Amino acid sequence: MPPKRKAPPVTASRKRARASSSLSPPPSEPAEQPSPEGRVTGFDQFRVPLLEGDVLYIPDFLPPADAEGLYAALAALPDWHHPTLRIYNRAVQQSRAVAVYASSPRTIKYSGTEIRAHAFPPVLERVRRTVEARLAQRFDVCMLNRYDDGGVYIGRHSDTCENLIIASLSLGAARSFVMTPRMPPRAAGGEGEERRRELEARETVRFTMQDRSLVVMQGKTQDYWKHEIPKERRVKEGRISLTFRQT
């Protein structure tokens, strides 16, 4: 199998960008205006080079002062739980803990189960305001994911296209984000299956999500790409992602 194509330009340029960025926008910046296109604009230098995908990786998105104590405060929220999923008719408890918040009371469909969304707690509301102002977008739902160490992962999936824009803020341990192209169904099965695996491996894009960074997925990304956070056994620290969604 050919080696997975890494995306060194993404990682390398982000390292350079990190030193210089001060990410609280000046109040005059146009980011305060809602974006008419329904997509995040103005971050072109952070675009991940993907065919038919619109993905941004923005390092140092949250200033260190805003991130101080945030991991611990979020980890202490009372709403975390490990959903029980039905896999091949067996009940399996997910290793990743989740907590869901929404601006109005509702339940959220999630991997075949329903999760009750809570009201945004003040600590999360502050982050939401920062993300909304910087991206010039509104987010009405936030799903938190907690990966206590590198053994906790999220399998390869696409999110539903009801999520117009997903903005995922990372806190804690650096983890890999792996994007694999979605293949048409006819590419699978028999000999096609082997070819599909080969193409997937060749086109796979991988980058590292650092503490305080933001990944944005929008446009047709979910139609053309799957994403995952694979197990990385050497990672001993926890990571929390705040996945802001538009529903």
Ligand X SMILES: O=C(O)CCC(=O)C(=O)O
172-231 residues near ligand X, rule: CB under 6 A: 227, 229
**Residue length, the chain?**
247
Q: Give the residue with the Cβ less far from Fe ion, 196 or 227.
A: 227
241 is an interface residue for ligand X by CB under 6 A: yes
Considering only residues 66, 140, 159, 228, which one is a binding residue for Fe ion as defined by CB under 5 A?
159
Q: Which is nearer to ligand X, 192 or 230 (CB)?
A: 230
- How many of the other CB atoms lie within 10 Å of CB of 44? 7
Q: Of 240, 234, 217, whose CA–CA distance to 145 is shortest?
A: 240
Q: Given candidates 168, 204, 213, 222, which one binds ligand X under the rule CB under 6 A? A: 168
Q: Rounded to 5 degrees, what are φ and ψ at 173?
A: -55, 140
The structure tokens listed for 142 are 């936030």
Residue showing the smallest CB distance to ligand X in the complex: 241
The residue within the footprint of ligand X, chosen from 208, 213, 218, 243 (CB under 6 A), is 243
Q: Shortest gap between Cβ of 151 and ligand X (angstroms)?
A: 15
- Per-residue contact string for residues 111-150; x = within reach of ligand X by CB under 6 A: --------------------------------x-x-----
| Neighbour count for residue 75 (Cβ, 10 Å) | 17
Residues found near Fe ion in the complex (CB under 5 A): 159
Residues forming the site for ligand X (CB under 6 A) = 143, 145, 154, 159, 168, 227, 229, 241, 243
